[in-house]
Structure 1
Amino acid sequence: MYDQEEGLFSQEKRLLPTLAETRWTSRTDTLTWLLKHYDKVLDILDEIQNQTVGNLDATSYKMTLLNFEILVVAVVTQFLLGYPRPLSIELQSENCDLVEAHVQARSLATSFLEIWENAEEAFDGLFKRASTIANKNDITIKKKPRTSGRQRHRANAAAETVEQHYRINSFIPLIDHIIKHLNDRFQDDIKPMLYGFYLLPRYFCNLTEDIIGSIANEYINDIPYSDDLPQDVHRWKTFTSIKEIGSKCTI
């Protein structure tokens, strides 16, 4: 589960990566960098606090970073967002294979389900990581937050320990959220629709009789003569070959 940890924490960038609102990969990169340089960031904020310009912001940021709950959430988020990172990069590529991306997304949903089913074991390592960073930076590991009888805006399920509290109220809900969005955006039944992507010349090599049949069945109401689709595909391949339309064709 932590095979990618060494790579994620081997970054030696001296500047905090820019957090882009529209690029999810930047969120993973920023959190990875922050967790690796947590002590250095706190030192820099200490220096800024002694300056005239920016001292109020520095104080606010430092108080945030010294909050153990924020640290736990950062560790959890960095870990979980590391899983969809390769898929995010693939989807942003101009040569993205939509069918393969769908397969990866479905596999990703399964991986998150496995993490959910083994949440206690998975979160134990994350909590230890957060605790190590906290101890190194004199961050107080707070006692189990008080459980309120009624809350509208914040998860606060009952728990016996601090670790259990964050596992139940932070770790598992985020996994549920990710699984829901993967299932909503990459539903099993849309795969036949995506097979039409293989009609692009550069992906002809992926076309098989079964896939052509699936395309015909999926778009039966849109194709005038769906039974003749194999012949149409053959003609399309010949046409693109004559016109030299090939690898340059992308979406």
Structure 2
Amino acid sequence: MDGHGHSAEAMFYSLMNFLKEMDLDIKDCRGQSYDNASNMSGKYNGLQAKIKEISPHAEYVPCFAHSFGQSAVECCKEAVNFFCFIENVYVFFSAPTHRRGLLKKKLLESGGSLPVVKQLSETRWSARADAVDSLFKSFNPILEALDNISNDVEQKPETRHKAVGLMSTMEKLETSFMLVLWNKLLQRINLTSVSLQKANLDLYTARSLVQSLADFIMDMRSDTEFLNLEKLAKELNESETYYSETHRAPKRSRKYDYSKNQDTSYDELTPGQKFKISTFFPIIDNLVSALGKRQQAYASLQNKFGVFREMKNTPNLSPDIINPL
């Protein structure tokens, strides 16, 4: 389909021209799905709204991969930084043959079956899961390769500087915690994503899958789970302290601070407790909230089209039962 711009109007124009060429009537459309970009999914001015103006039965469902993926990556500053770091590690080792060769050598020395770093994807959960899992499993060989490059005087100063920066990030307890956390989350999310892509999936099963994932993530929101993940992170990184414990944070001005008592209590928390409150809980809460929105979309569709499932399970439904549905 030829593109005429990224605005809702331009995409609507392109779509209508395409359907006309294919001899398809937009009024026969019964479903549409896009990412969460406002020009696509906007309730009043997005592409989906313009289609519904002329085809009221074209129900809109947010794309699970796009919308949930965006919620996961952008749920807090630390999550954004973490996935940027994953991508930076991949880029660093993917370009020059020497760097990738050194990494493969370190992986072979550590067992031979460890995965190389993988690239992230905005929509493919399997790629995200593989990227995080590869860094998790190959953590020490990657760290060793970066150390070798940072101390190699034959490398360009810029390359050595980048290696030092990546090493510094990897050596933070916060990074290893995020790695352990997201590895657990993404493995489970990917299983759900694969199931949601099955051709024979129905709305009832889709809702059950999303609810099961939400329950799994919500069950992780506990002090016990945080301590378990923290223990694994310390074992992976061989670090016992958070970055904030060794680097003094700048003092905030209280000139216009009307919640001094609250800030004081927060300042008295341990670095681990602060990380739990500022990063761990927000990640869990944002993911559960995003899944709740998917549930609402599926529920709306099931209320309208669930009758077909009932007809399949109960072939002798009378018109008196079907009409209200």
TM more than 0.5 = yes
Q: Which residue pairs with 2:178 in the alignment? A: 73
Match of 1:168 in 2: 277
- Structure 1 residue corresponding to 2:208, chosen from 96, 103, 107: 103
Aligned to 2:126: 25
Matches within 5 A, 1:59-208: 59-116=164-221, 119-135=222-238, 141-142=242-243, 143=245, 146=249, 158=266, 160-187=269-296, 189-190=299-300, 191-193=302-304, 195=306, 207-208=312-313
- Say whether the 8 Å CA contact 1:68–1:134 is kept in structure 2: yes
Q: Deviations over 1:17-55 (max 9, x none)?
A: 332222123222221221222110011112333242543
Paired residues in the alignment total 194
Following superposition, the deviation at residue 180 of structure 1 comes to 0.5
Unmatched 5+ stretches in structure 1: 1-10, 151-155, 200-205, 218-225, 230-251
CA deviation vs aligned residue, 1:144-184 (integer Å, no higher than 9, x gap): 8759658xxxxx99262232222212111101000100001
Tell me by how many angstroms 1:88 deviates.
Answer: 0.9
Q: Which runs of 5+ in 2 are unaligned?
A: 1-111, 254-262
| 1:105/1:186 contact within 8 Å kept | yes
Structure 2 CA distance for partners of 1:196 and 1:14, relative to 1, 3 Å: same
SS across alignment from 1:122: helix
C-alpha RMSD of the superposition: 3.6
Following the alignment from structure 2 to structure 1, what is the Cα–Cα distance between the partners of residues 122 and 148? 28
SS for the counterpart of 1:112 is helix
SS at match of 1:83: helix
Offset, 1:196: 6.5
Label 1:147 to 1:59 Cα distance change in 2 as closer, same or farther (>3 A).
closer
**CA separation of 1:14 and 1:28: change in aligned 2, threshold 3 A:** closer
Q: Is the 8 A contact 1:31 1:78 kept in 2?
A: yes
**Residues 16 and 33, structure 1, Cα contact 8 Å, conserved in 2:** yes
Percent identical:
24
Distance in 2 between the 1:146 and 1:58 partners?
25
Is 166-175 or 190-199 further displaced after alignment?
Answer: 190-199
Partner of 2:60: none
Distance (whole Å) between structure 2 residues aligned to residue 147 and residue 122 of structure 1: 30
